[in-house]
Amino acid sequence: MIWGWMPWIFTVLLVIAGLVLKADNLNKQIRQLKPGMDEAGVVAVAGTPKEVVPVERWFYKNENQVVISNNRIIDIRLNPDLIDKSIRFRSGPEDDKPEESVRLLRIGMTAEKALEIAGEPQQLVAGEDWNYSARQRVEMAGGRFRHADLHLKASLETLDWVRLNFSPGGLLFMNITIAFIMFGVALGIRLEHFRLLISRPTPVLIGVFSQFFALPALTFLLVILIRPTPSIALGMILVSACPGGNISNFISAVAKGNVALSVTLTAIATISAIFMTPFNFALWGKLYTDASNLVIPISIDPVEMLKTVIILLGIPVVLGIAFANRFPILTQKIMKPIRTISLLLFLSFIVAAFSSNFGYFLKYIHLIILIVLAHNALALLTGFSLGSLGKVARKDRRSLSIETGIQNSGIALVLIFNPRLFDGLGGMAFIAAWWGIWHIIAGLVMAYFWSKKPLPEEALSIDKPITA
């Protein structure tokens, strides 16, 4: 059998070897370029580039370069001679960092905004970026060769410099969408949903502890362990501080878990998140920023976050509960269509968040896929493990896992795009957006396998559905 595949394997290896050899030859040619060489000389030595991008090069202190194309920042290139340009955890003298003005700029920001923040550059030079491949670039300035990069590779550091763009109209749509979704969740909250807290408190208390205490703390430890860049780390912390997503009830039902427990935990989490989300992010986010030495300054305003969460969560939840109590019959009729509309709105919400940033999404999404996968796996495992330690029924463990692993990342996205909070900080937005997609996929896959695995009868399981 394997011998039949040998010609294909051999062909693939030949193609890979040819590409490596071609790249190596091009690197040798580009290394022969001399500063000041004109365009004709560059083409004669290195050949014709695949892509030519007209740019303006804005040079600030220490020759830190801001690259402008089509009136937006497309790159921020720090002086390669700086002693330490890393933006990971570290200690080091302030002189090793780019000056404050450049640190406040973001890829995707308009040229006008860049001038407002950083002021006039020390030098402005018209030029071009000659891209020979995704990893080989030649910088031309004033028609002459300036610098070459032979091993370009997008990294997590890049995301810290990215600012995703969102119009005021888009922000309004996001806020209305989240408010509508939370209103829909609140329609299903009843006083009866809190009876489990009295009749069988153990699984409920474990679920609350898992959601609002264990997951944020373990996320902080994961951040310390894998040491991502600041915007990625804060995105992970923010997602862990959000309440569970309302789709968790449906996934719990598919998994043959304890739907009554799932609904109870969703109700408690929705109400508690009004204060617990700002509290957890302020606590763990502050611990992170205090423990790290950041090139890019990221401030956390807990008061502004509390105000935003109260508007996004508090008001819709209060209105939803009041509406359900005042019009119970009408509520029963509209709950199902509202849940369907909420799911469609959430998906359109994710699409809208990246419709004007799709190029960035395609370019950088591969950098955070594994991080989100590991973080989501940690969340799912946290709920299940705490349920096992608490010796609750197996049905309850499934629901505890799902409630902890399905996070309302839509709330995180609205907070991230708030111009008074994080203003579309790239790494945070990428984490929250991919969480919004991945946790549904992971939850449904896990629920499918659990649905195929029957559970023994457990008399102590809280499996009686709660009705209004």
Dig out the tokens for 411 from the structure: 């709330």
Dig out the tokens for 206 from the structure: 């474990």
For the full predicted model, state whether its pTM sits above 0.75.
Answer: no
- Over 50: is that where the pLDDT of 296 sits? no
- Mean pLDDT across 109-120: 87
What confidence score (pLDDT) does residue 466 get? 43
What confidence score (pLDDT) does residue 33 get? 83
- Over 90: is that where the pLDDT of 243 sits? no
- Mean residue pLDDT of the chain comes to 77
What CATH fold (topology level) applies to the domain 162-451? Answer: Na+/H+ antiporter like fold (1.20.1530)
- Over 80: is that where the pLDDT of 406 sits? yes
Percent of the chain with pLDDT over 70: 74
What confidence score (pLDDT) does residue 17 get? 55
- Over 70: is that where the pLDDT of 192 sits? no
What confidence score (pLDDT) does residue 119 get? 87
What confidence score (pLDDT) does residue 155 get? 64
pLDDT tens per residue across span 124-179:
889 899 888 877 888 888 888 888 887 666 666 777 777 766 655 666 666 777 77
- Mean pLDDT across 438-461: 77
- Over 80: is that where the pLDDT of 198 sits? no
Highest mean pLDDT range out of 23-27, 143-147, 302-306?
143-147
Of 248 and 188, the structure prediction assigns the larger pLDDT to: 248
Of 385 and 255, the structure prediction assigns the larger pLDDT to: 385
- Over 60: is that where the pLDDT of 297 sits? no
Dig out the tokens for 305 from the structure: 């976050």
3-state helix, strand, coil in the chain (%, to 5): 65, 10, 25
Domains of the chain, by residue range, sit at 32-153, 162-451
Mean pLDDT lowest among 28-32, 103-107, 132-136, 196-200: 196-200
pLDDT tens per residue across span 320-373:
888 888 888 888 888 888 877 877 776 776 676 666 666 777 777 778 889 999
What confidence score (pLDDT) does residue 291 get? 54
What is the band of 300 on the pLDDT scale with cuts at 50, 70, 90?
low
Long-range contacts of 69-75 (CB under 8 A, 24+ apart): 71/110, 71/111, 71/112, 72/108, 72/109, 72/110, 72/111, 73/105, 73/106, 73/107, 73/108, 73/109, 73/110, 73/111, 73/114, 74/107, 75/107
